[in-house]
Amino acid sequence: MSTGMKYYKDNPWLIGEDVFNIDWLGKVEAAMSLGNGYLGLRSVTEESYIGEQRDTFVSGTFNKVSENEVTELPNIPDLIGMEFRLNGKRLDTTKGLLTDYHRDLNMRTGELTRSFIWEYGGIKVQCNFKRFVSFSQKHLIGQLVEIKNLGQPVEVEFISGINGQVTNSGAQHFTEGDKVLTEGKYMQMMPYTTQSDIFLVLSTTHKIKKEEDIYHESKKRVEMGRRKIYNRYWINLDAGEEVEIEKISSIYTEIDKEIEGKTIAEVKNIALKELKKAEVTGYQKLFEKSAKDWEDNVWSVLPITIKSKNFKDQLAINFARYHLHAIAPAHDQRMNIAAKGLSGEGYKGHTFWDTEIFMLPYFTFTHPDIAKSLVTYRHLGLEGAHKKAEENGFEGAQFPWEAAWPDDGETTPVWGAADIVTGKQTKIWSGFIEQHITSDVAFGIKQYMDVTGDQKFAREKGFEVILDTAKFWASRLEWQEDKKRYEILEVIGPDEYKEHVDNNAYTNYTAYWNINLAIKLYEKLKENEQHIFWNLDKKLKLSQVYEQWIDKVDKIYLPKPTEKGVIPQDDSYLSKKVIDLTKYKQSPQVGTLFHDYNLEQVNEMQVTKQADVLLLLFLFEDLFSKEEKLVNWNYYEPKTVHDSSLSLSTHAILAADLDKLDLSYELFNKAMNIDMGENMLSSDDGIHAASLGGIWQMVVFGYGGVRCLDGKLRIEPHLPEAWSNLTFGIIWRGNPLIIEVNKKQVSVTNNGSSQISFEAFGSKYCVSVGTKKNINI
Amino acid sequence: MSTGMKYYKDNPWLIGEDVFNIDWLGKVEAAMSLGNGYLGLRSVTEESYIGEQRDTFVSGTFNKVSENEVTELPNIPDLIGMEFRLNGKRLDTTKGLLTDYHRDLNMRTGELTRSFIWEYGGIKVQCNFKRFVSFSQKHLIGQLVEIKNLGQPVEVEFISGINGQVTNSGAQHFTEGDKVLTEGKYMQMMPYTTQSDIFLVLSTTHKIKKEEDIYHESKKRVEMGRRKIYNRYWINLDAGEEVEIEKISSIYTEIDKEIEGKTIAEVKNIALKELKKAEVTGYQKLFEKSAKDWEDNVWSVLPITIKSKNFKDQLAINFARYHLHAIAPAHDQRMNIAAKGLSGEGYKGHTFWDTEIFMLPYFTFTHPDIAKSLVTYRHLGLEGAHKKAEENGFEGAQFPWEAAWPDDGETTPVWGAADIVTGKQTKIWSGFIEQHITSDVAFGIKQYMDVTGDQKFAREKGFEVILDTAKFWASRLEWQEDKKRYEILEVIGPDEYKEHVDNNAYTNYTAYWNINLAIKLYEKLKENEQHIFWNLDKKLKLSQVYEQWIDKVDKIYLPKPTEKGVIPQDDSYLSKKVIDLTKYKQSPQVGTLFHDYNLEQVNEMQVTKQADVLLLLFLFEDLFSKEEKLVNWNYYEPKTVHDSSLSLSTHAILAADLDKLDLSYELFNKAMNIDMGENMLSSDDGIHAASLGGIWQMVVFGYGGVRCLDGKLRIEPHLPEAWSNLTFGIIWRGNPLIIEVNKKQVSVTNNGSSQISFEAFGSKYCVSVGTKKNINI
């Protein structure tokens, strides 16, 4: 008997399990979740089990359950559930004899399958379940159930429809909503979100095929109850007989762009019409169309192949890319990727710096259209960012630590988990003082503009965000008369285990960078693009703030290395107590430190949650020498518990940069195991979206050696020992480049339409259109 | 292997089961539910199973989830749940080997027990669970868990606390609420209802006794999440070792009278203080105190003993009394008994005519203080009744078909289950046109005043309700110029399978009775109690309406018998189609008619849901001859499907009156089986409270032959063949009477302080204080 997730040496597209363990439901639900950016489904089984988290999310449908709570992505009525009874006995695979059990997600096609033989109380059946969320028809979900009777005659009874009794862990986001059954088989439910007042139209139907009878008319009865509408069916199977049940469902919401302005009644009719069409098309064709879209829009675009001694490496990059596309709401610029994607209730569907620093680079370098949507979201968020700045007494755009609908402003909840010492809920300070998000947003936009060369976006949106965020920082700086410098006091840096610190290095450096960037941009625009300049000046009163920038920028305090070369994480970090972290660093679980200490106590120790100074050294590598990086690595890594999934990828890339390839590869393995590993509880609240972006970064930035530094491309690969070959692609200023790396050589093929130049190992190279450049490593 | 509920021949106080079947969870949860009128608990197991309905209700805490739904009794956060793991394996009694399984409710003491030996994956443990809702300390719930290790060393891990993730079938009634842990073990949660803004203070703690260690300090950790606060404990048990876990919990709400005006912080502190006290007292003593209160306040008050060939008869009357006291909110006149008591979400905690016609008589005749509270509730409901009358263009007091908080007015939902023909939700018309509730309320109050002789209530409240309801009826009558009479058109009578009928006999007769009663009362008060009269006249403008009453009362159309002596249920009933009902009458399930027809179709058939004309003949027996009753019995009973739990008791009593004792006894058995029978799904939404009142009525009115007719007591017993003796008591005008009946004789003992007189078999009797009167039957 194996345990945990199952992977297949010969197939880097499958993740699955061959043991059904109800203690691990959450892992499978999240790691094998389905989605198309518009909607996401946790991969719960059709029948219910204790401990399941039956979640369906639709991007952007944010709602607030009460004034005391923050807005969140609501768990919408369930379309997936189906309860079976065989000769009156409830199908429950934890009972009886379960053999040939397999549950797999095929990431290439986006199909989830489950199959088994179940023997219980005289019944013996072969059951196959299939499911997909359509990648080509965003509103559509397909399910197929095959039951073959391997024993004596059996009556298959099942109840299936739409279940609106689901909640977000007890919080209900919807009104009851109308329920309608049409022609005895098309079920629809039309609830509204309680506060944001968005209507949903949920529809489902069943098509039953028994042997040759394609539209089998089984005995059935509608059952409508509170927040639910079901049909109950009875089908008799003689020995050897088989039944196929197709359940086709769809979701529409009032905010869908293509139905803008339509009434709920009109959308109900559209949904019904489309559902009938899909019913005729049938599961298999609908699925094939969806799989083709995965192939065309994801897998065949700049494929990544890793030749490694460890087959899981290829699997990991496939896993990362699969989920990034399943959760990115590429269809609507008013939406962004959530920290848990669409795969769990964790972090309430909110967007963090996880996007800009961890996930956006993947899209910027490989799917610039999606990246454009994600950076446009931040431009749409300026209104909320102004609101936040104003509320806090600042100027310009202060981006929210957690973002939901673009103009919502700050949506970080105020109260978190229990303090083990006081027993009271801990206050979450991030929404108030974790301010580096503002420069992170500017960083992501700058990288997007540099890599894509998207001038239109830059002129219409990107420049504005960079200037507006710099305005914020200029107003945020605090003059210290005694020290004759500007400081940034009372913040949380990337290391969230240090609250209320002064002069967090990452925050100060990135604020400085942001203002400096704005100064250069101001000067460049004033000089070269006067029309753009005057528009922005009118909007942002740039001429006034420019003087401030110039006056302040060089007086910003940038924490300098100690004599030993250690950059202080903040003013007090280096004077705090050092404790033995072995126990916590070795724990397969994160956050175990809090079984022994509360946050107040951890605040007083040299313990770092995640890359902080080291992230600075990675993102702004030009500012620091390799030696400085090494000193700081040696100082900070041992004090870092990696309690955030955002930590390992940064460390792995930096380790690769520092020629610690074995260590880097070890971290790479740890990072992929955040969601794919043996800790079967780590993904209960959803997959770790930033970590997925991190997987791509480790491959392409870490081992592929790609960087965009001050608008210039650099490619300096260094493969880990286990890898013999790495092939990947990036799009540089619209030109697809295919990069193939082995231990001795890197080749760059320019499949674009203009010549590109880059730097590698200290030299500069040009690659003409349609040619390949080989460089020895 | 037995199936269904288990009863014990030698103990009429126990109901239980010795097979654990998760398809029958609902039956046990409801039929074995616990309560004290203040709060009610469905008897879910500590650990969760699919299909459970984990409900806790507190009387009067009504809340509306949205403007489109009606107010309902919210399911409050769960205090009962405890999840156990033994050596990491979740306790799940559907797995492994379960032996010696018993789950029983001791109705005498109000204690629920569950015990079994569980062997699974190398573990062998004896588990005993006990639980009670305190009858003496209304806020308190006690639980005791004993785990004895019968096998190899085992680690017992359990997680237990307060779970606010529960909903009413998906509808959330509470805000998140503060959560606090004090001294590492006292957990509190303080949510508010979302619309009625009532705060709750929920508290719980655990006391762990391992062998001699009374306050065993086990390893533990707090876990606070969304809407939940738990402690997780770990206890190691060597072979043969045992652990006892006491979980003591309490519930307070803002509407509790004894904490009126206190802030949530104050109530939190009171709750904590009381919890600590209860913890010290411990489960056993708290339980004994509660059991004593059951004995003193319920069982020793006018005990009922039945000597029958069938032991279930005694059990049934105990079952009825147990539940009536568990669900009657005797502590607060602003509350009344719900149709499902506090044992399920069915009917949303609303009060119907079920109280006055079915349950109130029990309290009126045996617990007049509780009856007084229940009738006072209706007086408090006058404001809502005025509101309803006014909204409908009538005068006086029109009582709501469904009532919640007294001044809420009508709370009947507008939409019900699906129509099998159209697939759409059916409109519920009762709230609009089922108007007999108004005379039912007057009937209950009149009976209360007649039986108790409570002059204070009569003068301060009762008279007013009778006059005010008569005002409604006078305004409701519709003059038919062609027929020169007043009719009542477009109503639903007790038979809810006939909607929009004219001149429903029950409605017309009771309206007539109500007005007539008001006329007599008016005249009597004006003559004899002028102070009371003038007060009421001022309030209700009686002098004006009296003229109307006099003018209208004799012109009210009272449906007269046909030539064959059949009283038409309404104007059109007798002309409708007669269909074969055998299939539906024989079905153990109710409502099966709707598997074949929709309500519109049933409306056109001579099919009656429940006693309608026959109820009239029972309640107003003086108006009809025995022959008329027989004719109508023979006509209507075969057309009645008894799809309401309110139907059988009326039929059983009437059958007894008509000397059809065998048939009556058959109906008595069917009636007790509504909740106690083999249909394991019939009580899923809660016990049938009116049916419980009906059980008492069948015993005391049916076989004990007790009636209060126009203010006079009649006692004419007639026992069914199986019964050799029946002893029961009633309180007549403050005098407890003990009535003992056998086949030959009835004796009436007057334990009161004044002489009482009654009629029996056509003769009149007087019983002096302290004496017994024997009458031959």
Find the helix or strand (DSSP H, E) in which A11 lies. Answer: strand A11-17
Distances (CA, A) of B260 to A97, B138, B141, B190: 58, 16, 22, 17
A138 is in an annotated binding site: no
Question: Within an 8 Å CB–CB cutoff, is residue B226 touching chain A?
Answer: yes
Per-residue DSSP letter, A242:
E
Distances B122 to B86, B95, B127, B153 between C-alpha atoms, Å: 10, 13, 16, 10
* Domains located in chain A, CATH noted: 32-291 (2.70.98.40)
- Mutation to test the A interface, candidates B162, B175, B348, B681, most A Cβ within 10 Å: B175
Residue B353 annotated as binding?
yes
Tokens (6 digits) for A604: 């007083």
Tens of pLDDT, residues A432-460: 999 999 999 999 999 999 999 999 999 99
Q: Out of A23, A49, A66, whose CB is closest to B194?
A: A66
Give residue A1's pLDDT: 39
A771 backbone dihedrals φ, ψ, rounded to 5°:
-115, 170
- Buried/exposed code over B664-681 (b: 16+ C-beta within 10 A; e: otherwise): bbbbbbbbbbbbbbebbe
Q: Is B351 exposed, middle or buried (0-12, 13-18, 19+ CB in 10 A)?
A: buried
Q: What is the mean pLDDT of chain B?
A: 96
B213 confidence band (pLDDT: 50, 70, 90): confident
Task: Render pLDDT for B99-142 as a digit per residue (tens, 0 to 9).
Answer: 999 999 999 999 999 999 999 999 999 999 999 999 999 999 99
Judged against a pLDDT cut of 80, whether residue B577 lies above it is answered with: yes
Confidence of residue B2 (pLDDT cuts 50, 70, 90): very low
Q: Determine whether the interchain pair B167/A167 forms a contact, defined as Cβ–Cβ distance below 8 Å.
A: yes
Shortest Cα distance, chain A CAs vs residue B425, angstroms: 7
Q: Which two tokens stand for residue A306?
A: 């890793």
Q: What is the dihedral of CA A67, A68, A73, A78, to 10 degrees?
A: -90
Tell whether the torsion through CA atoms of B6, B9, B10 and B11 is positive or negative. Answer: positive
Task: Give the containing element (helix H, strand E) for A210.
Answer: strand A200-210
Residue B421 reports pLDDT greater than 80 = no
* Nearest Cα residue to A152 out of A241, A245, A212, A244: A241
CB spacing of A169 vs B227 below 8 angstroms:
yes
* B551 is known to lie in a ligand binding site: no
How many Cα atoms sit within 13 Å of B777 on the Cβ side?
17
Q: Which residues of A touch B65 (CB under 8 A)?
A: 172
Q: How far apart are CA A189 and CA A228, in angstroms?
A: 8
Cβ pairs bridging A and B (under 8 Å): 118
Q: Contacts of residue B224 in chain A, CB cutoff 8 Å?
A: 417-418, 425
User: Which residues sit opposite A126 in a β-bridge?
Assistant: A117, A148
B179 closest CB neighbour out of A66, A167, A425:
A425
- Would you call B172 and A176 a contact, using CB atoms and an 8 Å cutoff? no
Q: Which residue of B has its CA nearest to A182?
A: B423
Mean pLDDT by 10 residues, chain A (777 residues): 78 96 94 98 98 97 94 98 97 96 98 98 97 98 98 97 98 95 96 97 97 85 93 96 98 96 97 98 98 98 98 98 98 98 97 98 98 98 97 97 96 84 84 97 98 98 98 98 98 96 98 98 97 96 95 97 97 96 88 88 95 97 95 97 94 96 97 91 94 98 96 97 98 98 97 97 96 96
**Do A180 and B66 make contact, defined as CB atoms within 8 angstroms?**
no
A227 contacts B418? CB cut-off 8 A: no
pLDDT confidence of residue A680: 84
More confidently predicted of A420 and B642: B642
What is the three-class DSSP state of B147?
strand
Q: Please check whether residue A65 touches B, CB under 8 A.
A: yes
Q: Which of A46, A246, A345, A496 is catalytic?
A: A496
- Determine the distance in angstroms separating the CA of B74 from the nearest CA of chain A, rounded to an integer: 13
Q: How many CB atoms lie within 10 A of CB A648?
A: 26
Of B69, B225, B420, the CB nearest to A222: B420
Residue B295: pLDDT above 80? yes
The model's confidence at residue B426, banded by pLDDT at 50, 70 and 90, is confident
Q: Is A176 on the interface with B (CB under 8 A)?
A: yes
A353 marked among binding-site residues: yes
Cross-chain Cβ contact A226/B194 below 8 Å: no
A232 bridge partner residues: A159, A221
Band (pLDDT 50/70/90 cuts) for residue B1 is very low
E strand spans, A42-139:
56-58, 82-86, 89-90, 97-106, 111-120, 123-133
Residue B574: pLDDT above 90?
yes
The pLDDT of residue A3 is 60
B116 φ, ψ to 5°? -170, 165
Whether residue A171 and residue B226 make contact (CB cut-off 8 A), yes or no, is yes
Tokens of B533: 């009269």
Model confidence over A186-199: pLDDT tens digits?
Answer: 999 999 999 999 99
Q: Given this model, what pLDDT does residue A121 score?
A: 92
Chain A residue numbers touching B194 (CB-CB < 8 A): 66
CA distance B264 to chain A (A): 17
How far is the C-alpha of A679 from the C-alpha of A669, rounded, in Å?
13
Best of B52, B66, B228, B422 to disrupt the A interface (most A CBs within 10 Å) is: B66
Nearest chain B residue to A52 by CA: give it.
Answer: B50
Sheet of A39-41: strand order equals: A34-35, A39-41, A56-58
Q: Is the pLDDT of residue B590 over 80?
A: yes
A373-408 pLDDT, tens digit each: 999 999 999 999 999 999 999 999 999 999 999 999
Nearest to B167 among A172, A175, A595 (CB): A172
- CB contacts under 8 A, A 420-439 vs B, are 420, 423-425
